[in-house]
Structure 1
Amino acid sequence: MHPGFPGIGPLAGNVAGPAGVHPGVPTADTPLQKLGFLTIGTFDGDDPRPGMEALLTQIQLGEELGFDSAWLRHRHLQYGVSSPVAIMAAASQRTSRIELGTAVTPLGWENPVRLAEDLATVDLLSGGRINPGVSAGPPMRWDDIKDLVYPDTADVEDFSYTRVTRFLRAVGGEPVATAGTQGIEVYSDRVQPHSPGLRERVWLGAGSLRSATWAAEHRLNLLTSSVLSGAEGTDFAAIQGEQIAAYREAHPEGRVSQGLVVIPTDTATREQREKYEAYAAARLPRTREPQGPGKLLFAPDVVGTSEQIAEQLHAHAGFRQVAEVAFALPFSFEHEDYVQILTDMATRLGPALGWRPREFTQGA
C-alpha cells in the first residue's frame, strides 16, 4: 500500500467486514494491519552521537524485520530526540520502505509554517513516507521555559487548536502569503516545497474525548497512547475505547493507531526479563488512579510472552478497535534490549496478532 493513502494497510482490501461498515473500520476478528514502534531515542548528554546512531540502527532493523512504521517521541531539554525531523531525514536515506512519524510534535514549541517547510522537504526526500503527529496546548513546564522560547510574546501566544489549523493550512498547500515578484526574486503564495498527500498523513495526538472528536471533525488521523487526560475513572481500556468509538463515528475513513508500552520476553535472557518486570512494577502505582491536575491516567505496561500479551490485547477495549499500532519502547533500556524487543515484536507478537511482515504481503 502506498503510504500516502489514508487506509489502514496492505491487507485492507482482503478483510471482509459486516455490511454497512466502512472497510477502514476494524471488527473484532480483523487481524492487525500495521505494526509500528515508538521510541524516545535516548543518548548520553556528554556523548550523544552513539545514542543517535543506535536509534538509526534500530530504525534500519525495523525495516529489515518488516515493521510498517517507526515513530519518534519529541523531547526538549531532555536526553532524547529534540529534532525528529532531522532524525527522519537521516533515516529516510538509510531506509527505503518503512514509514517515519512523530508521536508527537508539540506545536507549542513550533512555528507552524517553518515546521511545514521542514516536513514537506523530508517527505519528498523520503518518497512520501512521513507521518507528522502533532499536539495542541502550551509546552510542558511552561512557566520554566516561556521566557526561553517566547521572550517577547509568551502572553499572547495561542496554543489552542488554532495553531493546529495554521499548520494544516501550511502543510496542505493553502495560500499563506501573496505571490509575486520583487526584483528578480519570485515568491509563492504557499509553503515551498509542497508535498502532495502529506496533509492526509497528519495525525493528532489525542488523550481526551474532546481532542479525539476534534481530530475527526478536521479529518486528521488519530494517535492514541498509553496516557489519557481528564480521566474521570480508572478503567483505561474502557475510556480509550469510548474515545476511539467517538472518533470512528465521526470519521470512519480515518486511521487510528494505538501506542501502549508492550515488552515481549520470548527470547529475552533471565536478566532482561527481570529488568523488564522491575521496570513495569515501578511504574504500576501511577496507573491506579488519575494523576495531578490534568487527571492523567496511565495504562499499565504489558510485559510477558507474545502469547500472553496477545491475549491481553485482544481483551483490550481500545486495541479491539484499531487496525494498526505503534508499540512504545521503554525509555531507559540498552540497545541490545531494544534489538531483542523489536525482534520479538516482529517475529512473535505481530504474527500472534494476525500481522504479517510487509515482504509477505507484497502483491497480495
Structure 2
Amino acid sequence: MTKKIGFLSFGHWSDGLGSQARTAADVLHQSIDLAVAAEELGADGAYFRVHHFAQQLGSPFPLLAAVGARTSSIEIGTGVIDMRYVNPFGFVEDAGAADLISDGRLQLGISRGSPEQVIDGWRYFGFAPAEGETDADMARRHTELTLELLKGQGFARPNPRPMFPNPPGLLRLEPHSEGLRERIWWGAGSRATAEWTAEQGMNLMSSTLLTEDTGVPFHQLQAEQIERFRDAWKLAGHEWEPRVSVSRSIFALTNDTDRAYFGRERNGTDQVGHIDGGIARFGKSYADEPDKLVEQLREDEAIAAADTLLLTVPNQLGVEYNAHVIESILTHVAPALGWR
C-alpha cells in the first residue's frame, strides 16, 4: 500500500550536551526549517506534539500558521492537542485561520491527552470537569463541541446594533475553513477508543503506545485497533473515507553517525509498563541497515494497515541530521516496501 510519510517532532529543548535545540526559540525556528526541508525532500507531513508546562512545543497554532506560510504542499498537523486544555471557540477560530493560511493543509490530531507535567494542569487554564465528570469526559465534551462548531453553522444571535453589518441569520465563528471538520484526528490509545473515534467521524491517529495489553506484539494489537476502527466507521455510515496514521521511531543506519546514535537500538523489542495507573504496551524502535530494516518493517501489520506513517524524529539533533533521517527512509526504505 502506498503511504503518506511525514515526521512527528516532540519539540524538546534543553541545554544538555549535544543539543542543537537549546531554547524555545531554537525549537520553533528549527521546526519551521525542518518542515521546509521535509517538503523539499518529498515528505508528505510535518506534525508536532503539544505538551503544556514542559520544555516542548505548547502553543501549536502560531507554529502551524508559520509553517503554512513557508511551505506550499506538505500537510501540517499536530499529534496531539490535549482537549482538556482547550476552549472550543478559540480553538476553532485559531484552527480556521491556520488552515486558510496553509490553503487547506491542516490535519489536527487531538485527544484526551497524556500524563502531565503538573497536577490537573487544565485547571490553570480555567477548566474543570462538571459534577460527575472525569477529566477524560471533559476532554470529550470539549471535542464534541469543537466538532459541531467546525461545521460552520450559525448559532449566535446577532446584535441589532453591530459595529459592522451582519449577514442575515445566526452567526458562526470566523474565519471558517470549509473541509477542516473532515481533517480532525483523534489520538486513540485503546481499541474501544478507536471505535468511539469512528462513531464521532474523526480520523484515527495511533502512536507507539496503547493503554492496554493482550499479550500479543504491539503491531498486532494496533492492527486490531485499526480494524475495529474501520468496522465501526462502516456501521456509523459516514459519507467520506477516513484516514489512519501510526507513528514509529525508524532509523536507517547508512553512515557512522547513524550507527553511533542509534546502533544500540538494533533488535529492539516491545515494552510493557504502567501509565496513568494502568498497564500499557509500548512499541519498539526500528534501527538497522536499510535492507534488514525493510525486512523487519515488512512484518509490521499496523504499518501495513495504515495509510499514513509518521516518523518520530530526534529534534534536538538539529535540522540537518533530521532531514537526513527522513531522506534515508524515503530513499532507502519506502520504495522497497511499496510505500512510494
- In structure 1, the gaps of 5 or more residues are 1-29, 357-364
Instruction: Report the Cα offset of residue 330 of structure 1.
Output: 3.1
Q: Deviations over 1:47-70 (max 9, x none)?
A: 432332222111001100111111
Give the Cα–Cα distance (whole angstroms) in 1 for the partners of residues 59 and 219 of structure 2: 32
The residue aligned with 2:171 is 189
Where 1:181 maps in the other structure, the secondary structure is coil
Give the Cα–Cα distance (whole angstroms) in 2 for the partners of residues 139 and 272 of structure 1: 31
Which residue type is aligned with residue 154 of structure 1? A
Q: 1:79 aligns with which of 35, 52, 55?
A: 55
Instruction: Report the Cα offset of residue 318 of structure 1.
Output: 0.9
Instruction: Report the Cα offset of residue 234 of structure 1.
Output: 5.1
The residue aligned with 1:353 is 337
Give the Cα–Cα distance (whole angstroms) in 2 for the partners of residues 155 and 99 of structure 1: 33
Give the Cα–Cα distance (whole angstroms) in 2 for the partners of residues 137 and 161 of structure 1: 11
Q: Deviations over 1:76-118 (max 9, x none)?
A: 2222211221111111111111110111111111111111110
Q: 2:78 aligns with which of 102, 122, 127?
A: 102
The residue aligned with 1:229 is 211
- In structure 2, the gaps of 5 or more residues are 16-21, 235-240
The answer on 1:326 being equivalent to 2:305 is: no
Contact in 2 for aligned 1:136/1:163 (Cα 8 Å):
no
TM superposition score normalised by structure 1? 0.80
The 5-angstrom pairing of residues 332-343 of structure 1 reads 332-343=316-327
Where 1:289 maps in the other structure, the secondary structure is strand
Where 2:274 maps in the other structure, the secondary structure is coil
Instruction: Report the Cα offset of residue 341 of structure 1.
Output: 0.3
**Residue 183 to residue 216, structure 1, CA distance change in 2 (3 Å):** closer
The residue aligned with 2:124 is 148
Which residue type is aligned with residue 94 of structure 2? D
Where 2:301 maps in the other structure, the secondary structure is coil
Contact in 2 for aligned 1:272/1:337 (Cα 8 Å):
no
The answer on 1:89 being equivalent to 2:65 is: yes
Aligned length: 319
**Residue 234 to residue 77, structure 1, CA distance change in 2 (3 Å):** farther
Q: Point out 4+ residue stretches in structure 1 off by more than 6 angstroms.
A: none
Contact in 1 for aligned 2:83/2:139 (Cα 8 Å):
no
TM superposition score normalised by structure 2? 0.85
Where 1:77 maps in the other structure, the secondary structure is coil
Give the Cα–Cα distance (whole angstroms) in 2 for the partners of residues 134 and 39 of structure 1: 15
Give the Cα–Cα distance (whole angstroms) in 1 for the partners of residues 48 and 103 of structure 2: 19
The 5-angstrom pairing of residues 1-364 of structure 1 reads 30=1, 32-44=2-14, 47-136=23-112, 140-141=116-117, 143=119, 145-150=121-126, 153-154=127-128, 156=130, 158-186=137-165, 189-233=171-215, 235-251=217-233, 253-266=241-254, 268=255, 270-278=256-264, 280=265, 287-292=270-275, 293-330=277-314, 332-356=316-340
